[in-house]
Amino acid sequence: MSSTRRNRRQAAINSLENLESRELLTNGMKMGPDGYLINKFDYNKLIYKRQNPPPPPQDRRLVFDLSKFEGYGPNAKAVITLYGPGTLVSNSTLPANAPVNTHINSDGHLHIIFDNTTKESQIIGKVIGTKKPVGIDEIRDANVQPYDTTGVGTNQMGYVNLAQFNLAHGGRINFAGGVQRIFINDIGPGSQLTLQALATPPVTSPQNPGGFNSTTTTGNSGSSAVTNNAGVKTTTTTVNGITIVTTQPTTDQLTISNGALTGVGGITLPGSVPSTSSSIVKVEIQGVELYANHIHGYQLPGTSMTGNPANLSSTRVGQEQFAGLIDVDNTGNNPDQLVVFNVNRNASTWVVESATANQSINVIAQKYVDTGNTSKIVALPANTPVTMLGSGIGQYSNGTFSIPEQSNLTGALQVIAVGYKYSQDGTDQYWINVYSVLDGSFQGAFNANQSFDGLGGSSGNIYVTNSKGGTNGTGFSIGYDLTASLNSHVGVTLANSTAGLNYPSTFKSMAGTTGAAGISYLYDVGLQYFQPYNPNTAANPQLGVIKMGVSGTGLLSNAGTLQAGSTSLPWTDPPKYSMGSVDQDIFIVNPNLSAVDSTGTYLSAKLYDADTLAGAGSFKIYTTAGQSLKGLSETFYPQAFGAVIVDVRGNLKTFSADIVDNMILNVNGIAGYVRSPETSNTTIIGHPVLHLSVGWKPGANVNIISSARPTNKTPGGKDRPGIRGGVRVIKNLPVIGPLTNPLQQGGF
């Protein structure tokens, strides 16, 4: 059997073939500006660069003439260069010394201001023509207010090499967005370093990585990844025979967007780990690296509020305070008082147990007096009836502090703001007085120019709440620029905005307002029907909290409401509740519900996690019977005055300095390696502290506090003692801080 196939002849077509718009010949490539084809990736990159041109070279390399300043040679210069993404001049249309641009001030100190950087960016400094180190007053992101340590709006940074520079007395370094490595020569007293760990190190190699022309290593390098039973990627390390399993972070930030810590250290108990010690591979902790030559803090002489820490028999932290307002005779007449409470922690666990009054300050109402061309404020008679409204912690840039037998210090002072009202010519006047956290001295006052019945602090500024204000009549909050308001004696709202935040109709404010350390949230206690409402049972609403996000410019936004416990209260005329905070926990107090124990009369304060509002325990606030507590503030640490504060969020990979005096190193994660051969008057806190090379003489007042390592057994199976090599071990050490120096740029 056979078959035939007809073959069709291909006829020539008298035209060009359409090769899919010639894509087969170009493979999707585009014509570049030089006439040659480039691939799509490079073409899109070229278009992006044209649409988003990088800052010009003159905005990334700045040269400062030092010859006009005392102690420098005629050819002395300081050169600051930014490598990688970003700029040192945020707004070139403003004067060179504008706060958003890197500049040198009249004292010859640098302000290094960066913007639009990433973890691949580097700041490198060089001094030419002199051997004298150059002082630095501050390093921060241009989009962040000078004393805001929450990290909101802050860009990341990779490497910073300023080994020929000193951080000046009262200086600030703020890398709350994240930083890998910092070299600096000396760090002066009263300085504040706020550092956030990066989840992964930069890919870009550091410029001049030697720093001080020498290197310091832990001697524990190399890494190995294992997978635990849950399939989560971890790394393991051994320290003195102890196995540590560290869960790798999954984001570039170890904190939530508003600064609250999501965890400390990331340590879990050993899971699927090889059983023989020979198969365990040691790893370095990923985290911040800080190298300095000398760190010299300042020791505070005695003051009325802080006592006398000249004989520091214990750590300078763990002794925080908060403020409250007391109506002494419960009639609303003066003298009403600002009372400073000491926070008392359990000696073994450091859990907050109680708060006791430390000092009382009479709150005297103020008013304007017109003197012609100017106006000033004067005190009203002490018996003027005053209603106390609330208190909060802020930062006043022009604060003053007097040290006995020394000149006054002027700088950014942490202050207690006290809100109150009084009647003048039949009209209610709403005022805010401000007092130093160091000695209680009066720093100024201003007219709020609007009604309020709650007050709290966040990011260095002050916020007020009107529980019956807003478009819904259920609450309204707005913030004040504290420094500008005190300078003018009239309330200046943040970003010059009068909008504020109107509370939703479903949440009714009770005017208990507070912030929390290092978190850009504001909180207000109130009522809401969190449970399904059944009219037949006439159920009352539950106690809850509204969280308000605080932007980089201080504006508020509704971040949601959360229930606080199971307490039910009437919607109409509920009792007033007060709020305050201890470190990163907020607490709520019913000032009308007191009790008595063997110590005295107290109010019960319930603690809540500032992010989730999960219960975090409770403590007692001891008051005098018959006194009414009207408002509570956030915590502050007056005994930290003058010390160098290094506050690390996340892990610390390495800290190394030759001489350290009066420093607080507070690590909210793992403190991997700490080196300080000559140490005095210093506190080191880690969760936990691993490797140490710290030397001190007897009586040098060095305190090293660590959480328990993953196992409390030695390689031989014996229980580990509570003290290891001079380290005080607290098994479940709570997070302390973040810490803020009570006076910065103080000219010590």
Cα 726 to the center of its chain, rounded Å:
29
Q: What is the pLDDT of residue 126?
A: 95
Residue 130 within any structural domain of the chain: yes
Least confident range from 102-111, 188-197, 495-504, 718-727: namely: 718-727
Q: Tell me the pLDDT tens digit for each residue of 644-666.
A: 999 999 999 999 999 999 999 99
Cα 224 to the center of its chain, rounded Å:
33
More confident residue, 73 or 430: 430
Q: Are 565 and 590 in contact (CB under 8 A)?
A: no
pLDDT over 50 (residue 718)? yes
Tally of structural domains, the chain:
3
Residue 20 within any structural domain of the chain: no
CA contacts within 13 A on the Cβ side of 686? 22
Name the token pair of 557.
């936004």
Give 136's strand partners.
110, 167
Domain boundary, last residue among 610, 639, 668: 639
CA-angle at 453, arms to 448 and 455, nearest 5°:
70
pLDDT over 80 (residue 748)? no
Tell me which H or E stretch contains 26: helix 23-26
Tell me if residue 277 falls in helix, strand or coil. Answer: helix
Confidence of residue 12 (pLDDT cuts 50, 70, 90): low
Tell me which H or E stretch contains 51: helix 40-51
476: Cβ–Cβ under 8 A, 6 or more apart, which residues? 465, 466, 469, 470, 500, 501, 502, 503
Left (φ > 0), alpha (ψ -120 to 50) or beta: where does 712 sit?
A: alpha
Q: Are 699 and 681 in contact (CB under 8 A)?
A: no
- Cis-peptide, bond into residue 335, ω within 30° of zero: yes
Tell me, yes or no, whether 623 and 691 share the same domain. no
More confident residue, 219 or 97: 97
What is the C-alpha separation between 309 and 113, in angstroms, rounded?
35
pLDDT over 90 (residue 132)? yes
Q: Tell me the pLDDT tens digit for each residue of 573-603.
A: 777 889 999 998 999 998 888 899 999 999 9
Give 431's strand partners.
420, 447
49: Cβ–Cβ under 8 A, 6 or more apart, which residues? none
Residue 694 within any structural domain of the chain: yes
What is the C-alpha separation between 591 and 609, in angstroms, rounded?
21
Residue 355 within any structural domain of the chain: yes
What is the C-alpha separation between 122 and 48, in angstroms, rounded?
22
Tell me, yes or no, whether 289 and 422 share the same domain. no
> CA-CA-CA-CA torsion for 644, 647, 652, 654, nearest 10 degrees?
-10
Q: What is the pLDDT of residue 357?
A: 92
Average predicted confidence (pLDDT) for the chain? 80
Q: What is the pLDDT of residue 559?
A: 92
What is the C-alpha separation between 485 and 494, in angstroms, rounded?
10
pLDDT over 80 (residue 91)? yes
Name the token pair of 23.
């894509």
pLDDT over 90 (residue 137)? yes
Confidence of residue 541 (pLDDT cuts 50, 70, 90): confident
Confidence of residue 171 (pLDDT cuts 50, 70, 90): very high
Q: What is the pLDDT of residue 534?
A: 53
Backbone angles phi, psi at 695, to 5 degrees: -115, 140
What is the C-alpha separation between 323 and 338, in angstroms, rounded?
7
Q: What is the pLDDT of residue 533?
A: 60
What is the C-alpha separation between 585 and 582, in angstroms, rounded?
5
Tell me, yes or no, whether 542 and 568 share the same domain. yes
Sign of the dihedral through C-alpha 270, 274, 654, 156: negative
Domain boundary, last residue among 613, 639, 665: 639
Q: What is the pLDDT of residue 162?
A: 96
pLDDT over 90 (residue 288)? yes
17-26, 127-136, 230-239 — most confident range:
127-136
Secondary structure (H, E, C), 179-236:
ECEEEECEECCCCEEEEEECCCCCCCCCCCCCECCECCCCCCCCCCEEECCCCCEEEE
Tell me, yes or no, whether 67 and 146 share the same domain. yes
> CA-CA-CA-CA torsion for 436, 440, 446, 447, nearest 10 degrees?
130
Domain that residue 363 falls in? 324-639
Confidence of residue 686 (pLDDT cuts 50, 70, 90): very high
Tell me, yes or no, whether 244 and 106 share the same domain. no
Confidence of residue 282 (pLDDT cuts 50, 70, 90): very low
Q: What DSSP state is assigned to residue 719?
A: B
Q: Are 248 and 714 in contact (CB under 8 A)?
A: no
Tell me, yes or no, whether 396 and 502 share the same domain. yes
pLDDT over 50 (residue 248)? no
Q: Is 457 exposed, middle or buried (0-12, 13-18, 19+ CB in 10 A)?
A: buried
Residue 69 within any structural domain of the chain: yes
Confidence of residue 283 (pLDDT cuts 50, 70, 90): very low
pLDDT over 60 (residue 6)? no
Least confident range from 15-24, 453-462, 547-556: namely: 15-24
Q: Tell me the pLDDT tens digit for each residue of 329-366.
A: 655 555 688 999 999 999 888 899 999 998 899 888 89
Left (φ > 0), alpha (ψ -120 to 50) or beta: where does 431 sit?
A: beta
Residue 622 within any structural domain of the chain: yes
Q: Tell me the pLDDT tens digit for each residue of 196-235.
A: 999 889 988 887 645 554 333 333 322 222 222 233 344 4
Tell me, yes or no, whether 294 and 355 share the same domain. no
Domain boundary, last residue among 188, 214, 240: 214
| Percentage of the chain modeled with pLDDT above 70 | 75
Place of tokens 């990011």: 459
Sign of the dihedral through C-alpha 541, 544, 549, 554: positive
Tell me if residue 263 falls in helix, strand or coil. Answer: coil
Q: Tell me the pLDDT tens digit for each residue of 666-678.
A: 999 999 899 999 9
Tell me, yes or no, whether 520 and 611 share the same domain. yes
Q: Are 468 and 491 in contact (CB under 8 A)?
A: no
pLDDT over 50 (residue 278)? no
pLDDT over 60 (residue 286)? yes
Tell me, yes or no, whether 482 and 630 share the same domain. yes
Tell me, yes or no, whether 525 and 672 share the same domain. no
Q: Which residues of 138-152 are buried (b: 16+ CB within 10 A; e: fewer)?
A: bbbbbbbbbbbbbbb
Tell me, yes or no, whether 517 and 659 share the same domain. no
Residue 509 within any structural domain of the chain: yes
Residue 312 within any structural domain of the chain: no
Tell me, yes or no, whether 597 and 699 share the same domain. no
CATH of the domain at 464: 2.130.10
